[in-house]
Structure 1
Amino acid sequence: MAAKNAAIDEVRAAPLLVLLIFVPVVILTDMALPEAHTLLFALSILAIIPLAALLSRATEAVSSRTGDAIGGLLNATLGNLTELVISLAALQAGQYLLVKASIAGAIVTNTLFMLGGAFLLGGLKHHVQEFNRISARFQASLLFLATVAVLVPSVISSVDHTSALSQKLSLGLAIILIAVYALGMLFSLKTHRELFASAAQAEEEHHAWPIQIAVTVLVIVTLLVAFISEIFVGSVQVAAQNIGMTPAFVGFIVVALVGGAAEMTTAFSAARANRLDLSIGIALGSASQIALFVAPVLVITSYFLGPEPMSLEIWPGAVTMVLIATMAASLLSNGGRGVWYIGVLALAVYAIFGLTLFLLPPASP
């Protein structure tokens, strides 16, 4: 009875968990109708969303039991695990355009859609909201560094068209980005942790699962996400053509929204509760994790998992979008106050990007 009540409480706290019914549905559909790519594409999206919510909940529980340093490392590793697993499946299948689009899309989605939505929803309930400007600008600075790292191989490719140079450069940049992110965690969690006190206090208010349950959920859900990601990647090309979308649009918009659904729910709820510090920490923190940790890990992993090494080079339009999103993050975090109309502006920019990708898909780099 207690377990049943606990499960009901979890569903009430995270309504996305109702969608867990689609996990067995998509597995059974893949076994019975493996050629129904459009149906499998839709069902896999509906199945990944609640699994992402469970991963986010379990990651939070594990991190809260370990201490700041290890907890920061776990958040870097597991905080964007859904996007990482989907990208690894696409990497193994050689769909590099989908991988790069999902990386760029996740950065832009977290920076514009999640942050803009938090400002809008929080501002509609509260006239003006305050947040820790230092913490927000720190994350925005990390994003700017990542944008430079993506911009360099894209610019070099226009001068030197050899893939060998781009791959070597990307590998070196990946190592630099991971080192910078590790030092950033040391800075924010150890040497200057007092500057980030507001966000840390907000996170400690959450009730955490017992560590045994959290670890068990992490293992099981990670395996399920990996399995369903293979179904998703296997159906995405045909399904995208049937629906009228390209892999670039799917990676940039769909994968980013699906993978970040759980974090968005938490960020939006926190903003409505006048905890904008937590919302900004989730949005910009997740974006910087993807840019400085997930993307470099994918570059390094491609040497072992993919058909050939992957570079950080992406098409010019995506570089421009990431750069604009980074600039927007700096502008939004500069004042230390949030109002609803700022959210409207950020969401409008995101809508422009989405419409552009849908109508004018870029060619493969």
Structure 2
Amino acid sequence: MKILRFLLIFVPISIVGEWMHFSPTLMFVLAALAIIPLAGVMGEATEEISFYAGPRIGGFLNATFGNATELIIAFFAIKAGLFEVVKASIAGSVIGNILLVLGASMLVGGIKFKSQSFNKQSVEVSSSMLLFAVIGLTVPAIFTHTVAADLLNTRYEGLSIIVAVIMFGIYLMSLYFSFYTHKDIYLSESDQAVTPKWSLKKAIIVLIGATVLIGVESELFVAAVEPMTKAIGLSEFFVGIILVPIIGNAAEHSTAIAMAYKNKMDVAVEIAIGSSLQMILFVTPVLIFVSLFFTPMSIVFNEFELVALVLSVLIANRVSSDGESNWLEGVQLLSVYLIIAVSFFIL
């Protein structure tokens, strides 16, 4: 976290760069470097607020703000009409969390410890929920590829809204399940009393400030995507599915890996799988609803995105099913991620 704070210098640099009309490629890099530490600051402020709000409200805040950076970036992308970038970032976030983050956590933790254990019961619940979530993303795509073309334009948007409502409803029920009726499942040895470092007033001010700055940087970032991709020959698809998730979740990813290195694998697994669930069940429906104020966005993903999503979930479920991990399983997940990333790069 301390290393990320040094990157805050890129916040004023990027703003000056916009004022001085730097090239789109340079603005893309500067905005990305500014978003990474701001996301970390937002996460830290949310964690501090949770100490004062209590475990239940605090858990909700962490769940809500867990993917706030990507949500803000996606909002400006929707406003700019970059729907393929938005949908690719949704798929990329899920793939990145359960392959890149979980894989890196298992590898780093496995190098230090021969094997690591985690809460098998809670992982089983989260894994089955993740499989359901991916099914929710898959069905609309299958529908669009099998229905006659003349019916497609009039029905797929309505289907996307219905699916979004169902997924958001499941998200709310999952919060009630984990924070009230079955909260004992999610208790782990890593749960311990920690005193806040900031006052509540400071935490709220920092959270608001970080959110506003992320909004500013996200607008700069999205504005540079299209001209940058044309300038260097990089596809918007690759930017959405690989770069945006890594940039938006860099701070959260580093936390998961750090927890695994400290032998707190429960926390690392929860960050990886929990963040993926939030992305599909919370962020995706919200983006569908937000798009209604601009140009309605469908929830339809292309075939390659769907195959990558389904295979990622299946291998992650298989690796985590025994409640234990080692460095080889981490290498396996990372290898699958690299294969997918390279494939998207050459599209």
Question: TM-score, length-normalised on structure 2?
Answer: 0.96
Please give the secondary structure, in 1, of the residue aligned with 2:340. helix
Q: Does structure 2 conserve the Cα–Cα contact (< 8 Å) formed by 1:121 and 1:340?
A: yes
Whether 1:24 and 2:12 are equivalent positions in the alignment is yes
Equivalent residue number for residue 164 of structure 2: 174
1:69·1:186 contact (CA, 8 Å) conserved in 2? no
Q: d(CA) in 1 for partners of 2:189 and 2:72?
A: 27
1:107-256 pair list within 5 angstroms = 107-160=94-147, 161=149, 162-198=152-188, 201=191, 204-205=193-194, 207-256=196-245
Deviations 1:20-40 (CA, angstroms, capped at 9, x unpaired) = 000000000011015x10100
Q: Does 2:40 correspond to 1:45?
A: no
Gaps of 5+ in 1: 1-12, 361-365
Code of the aligned partner of 2:172:
A
Which residue type is aligned with residue 235 of structure 1? A
What is the aligned length?
344
Match of 1:99 in 2: 86
Structure 2: which amino acid aligns with 1:20?
L
* Structure 2: 5+ residue stretches without partners: none
1:297 counterpart letter in structure 2? V
Distance 1:70 1:293, change over 3 A: same
8 Å CA contact 1:76, 1:293 repeated in 2: no
Q: Alpha-carbon deviation of 1:62?
A: 1.6
Q: Matched residues in 2 for 1:102 and 1:342: separation?
A: 25
| Cα drift, residue 71 of structure 1 | 2.3
TM-score (norm 1): 0.91
- Report the CA distance between 1:66 and its aligned residue: 1.4
- The AA in structure 2 aligned to 1:188 is S
Asked whether the 8 Å contact 2:129–2:277 carries over to 1, the reply is yes
Whether the 8 Å contact between 2:288 and 2:297 is mirrored in structure 1 is yes
Instruction: Give the 3 Å change call, closer, same or farther, for CA 206–45 of structure 1 in structure 2.
Output: farther
State which of 333, 337, 354 in structure 1 corresponds to 2:320. Answer: 333
Aligned 8 A contact 2:137 2:300 in 1: yes
Letter in 2 for 1:22: F
SS at match of 1:198: coil
Q: Deviations over 1:200-244 (max 9, x none)?
A: 716x54745321111111111111111111111111111122223
User: Is 2:256 the partner of 1:276?
Assistant: no
Q: Which amino acid aligns with 1:102?
A: S
Match of 2:276 among 263, 276, 287: 287
CA distance in 1, matches of 2:81, 2:71: 15
Is contact 1:175-1:296 (8 Å) kept? yes
Displacement over 6 Å in runs of 4+ = none
Alignment of 1:344 with 2:331, yes or no, is yes
Give the 3 Å change call, closer, same or farther, for CA 148–16 of structure 1 in structure 2.
same
Identity over the aligned pairs, expressed in percent? 38
CA distance in 2, matches of 1:75, 1:45: 22
Whether the 8 Å CA contact 2:51–2:196 is kept in 1: the answer is: no
